[in-house]
Amino acid sequence: MQISEICQLTGLTKKAIEYYQGKGLVSPLIQENGYREFSHDDVEKLRVIALFRKLDLTTDEIKQVLESNDKKSALKMVKQVKQIQAKARLTQIELLEELVHNENMEMIQDKISILEQQASIKEKLLMSFPGYYGHYISFHFGQFLNEPIKTDEQKRMYAVIVEFLDNMESLEIPDELQPFLDQVDQYTDDRLETLSLNVQIAFDDFETYWENYKESIAQYVEFKKSESYQNSGMAQLMHLFRQFGETSGYYEVFIPAMRKLSPSYDAYYMKMLQANEKLIEKMPDLRNGSISKAGHPGYNHLRDGE
C-alpha cells in the first residue's frame, strides 16, 4: 500500500507517518523508485500508534511498548508513570490558582519543595527511569519504596542508586533466552502477593512452614541439581543474571545502597538471611548456593511449591 492509502486507513497525516518512520516505529519497504511500500503489519502498527497518541503517550513511550515482548506489562508501567504525572499536573494547577490570587512566590516555592519531599521513592525512581530499569525496580522492590526520603543518608543512597542505574551497561539477552525472560515478567500482582505472603509465613513461623513445604522444597532443590534443569534456557538465563550482577557492581553497590535507602527492605533482607540459615540447617547441601543472586537471599528456596 502507498502512503495515501495508509493515511485514509489510519487517520494519520503523511508528515506524522514520516515522523514515526524516522523514529523507527515503522519500517516500510523502500522500492527502487524511492516510494515506500507499507505492509499489513505496518498498517496495524500505525493504527496502534494513532490510538496511543490519542491516549497522550509520547513517542518514546509508544516505542517502549511496541518493542516490548510483554506489551501488557509495558503498558502497565506507562500507566503508572502517567498516574504520577497526572497527580503532579493537578497539584501544579492548584498551585497556579493560588499564584493567581496570591503573588507570594516564595510561599508557592515552599509548597513545591514540600510536595517534592513527599513523593515516594518509587514515584521518583519511576519518573527517572520510565523504561526497563523502572520496571525492574517496581517489580522487585516496589513494595519497599512507598515511603518518601526522610534522612540525609537516604538522600545520599538515592543519589548512589540513580547514578548506578544511569551508568550501568545494558544487559544483552540472547534471542533464544528471551522467552524465558518473558515467563519471569508475566508474574501478576496476585502471584507476587502470594509469594510475598509465603515468604512472610516463613519469617514468622519457619518450623510450621518447613513442615508444610519440606517435600516441595526438597523436590525443587533436586530439580535444580538435575541435568535437565542445568541444560535448560532458564538455568542459562539465571547464570547470565548472576554473571551480570557480579561484574556490574549490583551486589556491591546497588543492594547495599537499597538497604540503606529503604529500612523496610533492610528488615526484609535481614529476615530472609535468618530464614535462609534455618533452611540450611535443615538442608546443609544448600550452603554453597543458598543466597539467591537477585537481591533476595534464599528467595528461590522459599517459594511455594517451586
**pLDDT score for 155:** 92
Mean pLDDT value across residues 241-253: 82
Sequence-distant (≥ 6) Cβ neighbours of residue 154 within 8 angstroms: 121, 260, 261
Specify the length of the chain in residues. 306
Q: Which residue has the higher pLDDT, 301 or 33?
A: 33
Helix/strand/coil for 103: coil
Instruction: With residue 132 as reference, give the H or E element that holds it.
Output: helix 132-141
- Mean pLDDT for all residues in the chain: 78
Mean pLDDT value across residues 227-238: 83
Mean pLDDT value across residues 262-275: 87
Q: What is the per-residue pLDDT across 38-87, written as a single tens digit (0 to 9) for each?
A: 889 989 999 999 999 888 888 888 888 888 877 887 888 788 778 877 87
pTM, to two decimals: 0.57
**Neighbouring C-beta atoms of residue 76, cutoff 10 Å:** 13
Residue with cell 513494595: 143
Q: Does pLDDT of 192 surpass 80?
A: no
Sequence-distant (≥ 6) Cβ neighbours of residue 172 within 8 angstroms: none
Q: What is the per-residue pLDDT across 58-68, written as a single tens digit (0 to 9) for each?
A: 888 888 888 88
CB 8 within 8 A of CB 32: no
Domains and CATH numbers, the chain: 3-59 (1.10.1660.10), 68-148 (no CATH), 175-302 (no CATH)
Tell me which residue of 90, 245, 253, 260 sits closest to 164, measured CA to CA. 253
**pLDDT score for 256:** 94
CB 199 within 8 A of CB 299: yes
Which of 162-176, 194-208, 245-259 has the weakest average pLDDT? 194-208
Q: Which of 36-45, 210-219, 229-238, 297-306 has the highest mean pLDDT?
A: 36-45
Mean pLDDT value across residues 281-297: 57
Instruction: With residue 94 as reference, give the H or E element that holds it.
Output: helix 71-101
**pLDDT score for 191:** 52
CB 21 within 8 A of CB 27: yes
**pLDDT score for 161:** 92
Sequence-distant (≥ 6) Cβ neighbours of residue 69 within 8 angstroms: 178, 181, 182, 185
**pLDDT score for 213:** 80
State the Cα–Cα distance between residues 136 and 273, nearest whole angstrom: 22
State the cell numbers at 31.
Answer: 522500492
Instruction: With residue 29 as reference, give the H or E element that holds it.
Output: strand 29-30
**pLDDT score for 103:** 66
* Amino acid letter for position 194: T
Which of 16-20, 197-201, 219-223 has the weakest average pLDDT? 197-201
Q: Which residue has the higher pLDDT, 289 or 178?
A: 178
Tell me which residue of 137, 282, 159 sits closest to 213, measured CA to CA. 282
CB 246 within 8 A of CB 269: no
The proportion of the chain whose per-residue pLDDT surpasses 90, expressed as a percent, equals: 11
Q: Does pLDDT of 294 surpass 60?
A: no
The DSSP-derived string for 226-285 is SHHHHTSHHHHHHHHHHHHHHHHTIIIIIHHHHHHH-HHHHHHHHHHHHHHHHHHHH-GG
Q: Which residue has the higher pLDDT, 84 or 132?
A: 84
Which of 118-122, 186-190, 239-243 has the weakest average pLDDT? 186-190
CB 135 within 8 A of CB 181: no
Residue 255's pLDDT band (boundaries 50, 70, 90)? Answer: very high
State the Cα–Cα distance between residues 282 and 234, nearest whole angstrom: 26
Q: Does pLDDT of 179 surpass 80?
A: no
State the Cα–Cα distance between residues 22 and 292, nearest whole angstrom: 43
Which of 136-140, 144-148, 257-261 has the weakest average pLDDT? 136-140
**pLDDT score for 132:** 64
Instruction: With residue 37 as reference, give the H or E element that holds it.
Output: strand 36-37
Residue with cell 534522612: 151
The proportion of the chain whose per-residue pLDDT surpasses 70, expressed as a percent, equals: 79
State the Cα–Cα distance between residues 144 and 127, nearest whole angstrom: 17
State the Cα–Cα distance between residues 124 and 60, nearest whole angstrom: 19
State the Cα–Cα distance between residues 306 and 212, nearest whole angstrom: 13
Q: Does pLDDT of 152 surpass 80?
A: yes
